[in-house]
């Protein structure tokens, strides 16, 4: 039995070797409290193989400066940074600065922005930093990101930020496997449910029969069975092979963030996982979300948030009791968790809270039968009445989003081999916390809660719209956009200077975090005067979502799902001319 909740070996150190980094760049920032922060304007990053022991077994990682995660890069808004990246691997490598606005040649996508960094070579990136906040960087070559090539970027704003805090920590989440990523991918192709040990059983069905009678239970299953869709299909790759990490530490070695009672602590969450969505909470503490994907949002107080692969959220917490709190990040399928302690002293550690029940997908997640979900929402605990009236209001706003009409540019669409499902009535579900978080009794962040801190009233209206369907064939493990995989696709042509509205329809049962390089994604969350600015937008299963992009960067850009094993197919090249 190889299945483990979080990790097999307990007394393990996260890294066997910590190579020395450039002395010049090792000055520690006063404000940020994590180790291994590089500051200044010139950085030296070395990508190399490093022996590690994360699970109790020896393995070889690909690392930046010998560590997982790579060093946090502290930049300053308005300054020019120069980064010398040397590839010591036997294969081509690259670094992509995720969410950073820069010239296409500096974006670090082999084949699109440059040729990649050949073994033994150094590539020097240099660009002016035009933004601030929490971002991250990672390899854009092969599956190197899975094996450790990722780190955080923290950009100090030029102007004082509109919120105060005493301490500042990066909380980077990731997933580690001792299996080679090529092996994982091959297994998914051989048997797509290989890593899923939360499937329906005969007992599940018998329970349903007991609950609602045979004919009801059978007819409820009918559509799933006919479509050959699995309502337990939450993660392709699970805790069966993954150990979930927080700042490179497993739940046994624990990341520790120190606080003094009464202090305000800023936590910069980064999801650098290859395939894992995390549901994050700090039991006993409310979190105030102040930024999403690096950009300030109107502060919103919540108890839990789901962070998609490649997203970042900055939250502020105020621990008022002298005790250790768990920073608890369970994987979306509840096959494991990453955990650290927010604690007054390093000797005070927390035990992991119990994981929530394993989520089950419903018809809503297939893009149908909204009525069922409304019932669910209506039953929301406590403030039921409030919720439903508020919901009514929000619904109207979505109607407004639905009724927006811009000239639509038709794109090729193929049904068949690559598409096993079609969302029949995809809806904007911005206030849907998503499968596994609905009605859980906690205030869970949704996209509907995200409002740009600053007015976007003056932002241009879109000139035109494109609709992209996220498609896949889970059985064969093939992913695509509009039923056409990247290798068979033509680039998307964006016109320099235009403002384009992009609407995604998710024709699959999985969340897809869609990332457009080089340009901001101004997400419609219900209030056009406060479009929230993101670089990665999660499209929920069976749902629809729209955002606007000001096309202000010439060149070739990558546009893709950030799930590492979806990416090769669910990818488009965008050409701005």
* Three-state DSSP class for residue 119: coil
Order of strands, sheet of 304-307, starting from the edge strand that comes earlier in the sequence: 255-258, 337-343, 325-331, 278-281, 304-307
Q: Does 420 bind other proteins (CB under 8 A)?
A: yes
Q: Does 476 bind other proteins (CB under 8 A)?
A: yes
The answer, yes or no, to whether the previous bond of 215 is cis (omega within 30 of 0) is: no
Q: Does 202 bind other proteins (CB under 8 A)?
A: yes
Nearer CB in complex with other proteins: 258/568: 568
Nearer CB in complex with other proteins: 23/487: 487
* Three-state DSSP class for residue 143: coil
End-to-end CA distance of the chain: 55
Q: Does 214 bind other proteins (CB under 8 A)?
A: no
Q: Does 228 bind other proteins (CB under 8 A)?
A: yes
Stretches 223-231, 390-398, 452-460, 489-497: which one binds other proteins (CB under 8 A)? 223-231
CA 299 to chain centre: 20
> Which residues from 136-165 bind other proteins, rule CB under 8 A?
142
Q: Does 227 bind other proteins (CB under 8 A)?
A: yes
Q: Output DSSP code: residue 517.
A: S
Nearer CB in complex with other proteins: 470/532: 470
CB of 198 to other proteins, least distance (A): 7
Beta strand extents in 442-550 (DSSP E only): 464-473, 478-481, 492-494, 499-506, 512-516, 521-523, 532-534, 536-539, 543-550
Rounded Cα gap, residues 143 and 416, in angstroms: 28
Site string for other proteins, 235-274 (x = CB under 8 A): ----------------------------------------
Q: Does 200 bind other proteins (CB under 8 A)?
A: yes
How many CB atoms sit inside 10 A of residue 205's CB? 15
Q: Does 199 bind other proteins (CB under 8 A)?
A: yes
Stretches 43-51, 222-230, 262-270, 521-529: which one binds other proteins (CB under 8 A)? 222-230
Q: Does 495 bind other proteins (CB under 8 A)?
A: no
**Which stretch of DSSP H or E encloses residue 342?**
strand 337-343
Q: Does 118 bind other proteins (CB under 8 A)?
A: no
Residues 6+ apart with CB under 8 A from 543: 367, 423, 426, 427, 428, 429, 432, 505, 506
Order of strands, sheet of 242-246, starting from the edge strand that comes earlier in the sequence: 242-246, 167-177, 265-271, 312-317, 287-292, 295-302
CB of 413 to other proteins, least distance (A): 15
Per CB under 8 A, the list member of 131, 473, 482, 525 interacting with other proteins is 473
Q: Does 487 bind other proteins (CB under 8 A)?
A: yes
Q: Does 197 bind other proteins (CB under 8 A)?
A: yes
Nearer CB in complex with other proteins: 25/217: 217
Nearer CB in complex with other proteins: 354/487: 487
DSSP readout, 526-568?
S-GGGPEEESEEEE-TTEEEEEEEE----EEEEEEE-STTTTT
Orientation angle between helical segments 214-227 and 202-212, nearest 10 degrees: 140
Per CB under 8 A, the list member of 266, 268, 469, 485 interacting with other proteins is 485
Per CB under 8 A, the list member of 79, 207, 396, 475 interacting with other proteins is 475
Instruction: Please report the sign of the dihedral spanned by the C-alpha atoms of residue 288, residue 293, residue 297, residue 302.
Output: negative
Nearer CB in complex with other proteins: 252/360: 360
Rounded Cα gap, residues 130 and 78, in angstroms: 6
Q: Does 182 bind other proteins (CB under 8 A)?
A: yes
Per CB under 8 A, the list member of 23, 159, 164, 190 interacting with other proteins is 190
Nearer CB in complex with other proteins: 185/278: 185
Rounded Cα gap, residues 181 and 151, in angstroms: 19
Per CB under 8 A, the list member of 165, 176, 194, 337 interacting with other proteins is 194
Q: Does 226 bind other proteins (CB under 8 A)?
A: yes
Rounded Cα gap, residues 577 and 552, in angstroms: 10
CB of 334 to other proteins, least distance (A): 14
Residues 6+ apart with CB under 8 A from 389: none
- Token output for 358: 């394993």
Q: Does 419 bind other proteins (CB under 8 A)?
A: yes
Q: Does 189 bind other proteins (CB under 8 A)?
A: yes
Per CB under 8 A, the list member of 203, 357, 382, 407 interacting with other proteins is 203
> Where do contacts with other proteins occur on this chain (CB under 8 A)?
1-2, 142, 182, 185-186, 189-191, 194, 197-203, 225-228, 416-420, 473, 475-476, 478-479, 485-487, 568-569
């Amino acid at each position: 039995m190889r299945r483990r909740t979080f990790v097999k070996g307990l007394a393990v150190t996260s890294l066997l070797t910590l190579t020395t980094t450039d002395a010049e760049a090792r000055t520690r920032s006063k404000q940020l409290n994590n180790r291994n922060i590089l500051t200044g304007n010139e950085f030296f990053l070395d990508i190399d193989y490093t022996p590690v022991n994360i699970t109790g077994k020896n393995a070889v990682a690909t690392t930046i400066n010998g560590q997982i995660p790579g060093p946090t890069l502290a930049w300053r808004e308005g300054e020019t940074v120069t980064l010398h990246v040397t590839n010591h691997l036997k294969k081509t490598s690259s670094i992509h600065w995720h969410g950073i606005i820069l010239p296409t040649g500096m974006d670090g996508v082999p084949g699109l922005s440059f040729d990649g960094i050949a073994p033994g070579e150094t590539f020097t990136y240099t660009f002016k930093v035009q933004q601030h906040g929490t971002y991250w960087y990672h390899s854009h070559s092969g599956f190197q990101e899975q094996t450790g090539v990722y780190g955080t970027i923290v950009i100090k704003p030029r102007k004082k930020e509109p919120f105060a805090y005493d301490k500042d920590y990066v909380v980077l989440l990731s997933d580690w496997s001792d299996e080679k990523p090529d092996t994982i991918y091959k297994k998914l192709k051989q048997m797509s449910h290989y890593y899923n040990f939360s499937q329906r059983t005969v007992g599940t069905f018998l329970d349903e029969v007991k609950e609602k009678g045979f004919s009801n239970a059978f007819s409820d299953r009918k559509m799933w069975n006919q479509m050959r869709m699995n309502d337990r299909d939450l993660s392709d790759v699970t805790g069966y092979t993954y150990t979930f990490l927080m700042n490179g530490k497993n739940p046994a070695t624990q990341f520790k963030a120190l606080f003094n009672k009464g202090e305000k602590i800023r936590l910069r969450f980064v999801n650098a996982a290859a395939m894992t969505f995390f549901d994050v909470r700090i039991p006993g503490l409310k979190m105030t979300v102040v930024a999403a994907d690096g950009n300030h949002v109107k502060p919103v107080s919540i108890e839990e948030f789901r962070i998609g692969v490649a997203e970042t959220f900055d939250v502020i917490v105020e621990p008022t009791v002298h005790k250790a709190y768990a920073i608890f990040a369970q994987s979306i399928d509840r096959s494991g968790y990453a955990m650290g302690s927010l604690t007054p002293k390093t000797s005070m550690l927390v035990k992991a809270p119990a994981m929530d029940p394993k989520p089950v997908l419903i018809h809503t997640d297939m893009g149908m039968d909204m009525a069922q979900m409304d019932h669910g929402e209506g039953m929301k605990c406590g403030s039921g009445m409030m919720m439903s009236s508020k919901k009514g209001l929000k619904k109207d706003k979505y109607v407004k989003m639905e009724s927006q009409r811009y000239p639509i540019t038709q794109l090729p669409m193929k049904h068949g081999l690559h598409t096993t499902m079609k969302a029949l009535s995809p809806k904007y579900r911005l206030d849907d916390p998503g499968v596994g978080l609905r009605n859980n009794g906690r205030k869970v962040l949704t996209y509907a809660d995200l409002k740009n801190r600053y007015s976007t009233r003056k932002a241009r209206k879109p000139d035109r719209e494109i609709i992209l369907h996220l498609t896949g064939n889970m059985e064969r493990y093939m992913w695509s956009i509009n039923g056409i995989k990247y290798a068979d696709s033509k680039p998307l042509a964006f016109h320099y200077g235009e403002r384009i509205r992009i609407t995604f329809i998710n024709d699959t049962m999985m969340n897809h975090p869609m990332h457009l390089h080089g340009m901001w994604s101004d997400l419609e969350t219900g209030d056009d005067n406060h479009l929230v600015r993101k670089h990665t937008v999660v499209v929920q299963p069976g749902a629809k979502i729209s955002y606007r992009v000001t096309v202000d960067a010439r060149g070739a850009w990558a546009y893709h799902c950030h799930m590492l094993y979806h990416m090769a197919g669910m990818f488009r090249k965008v050409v701005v001319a």
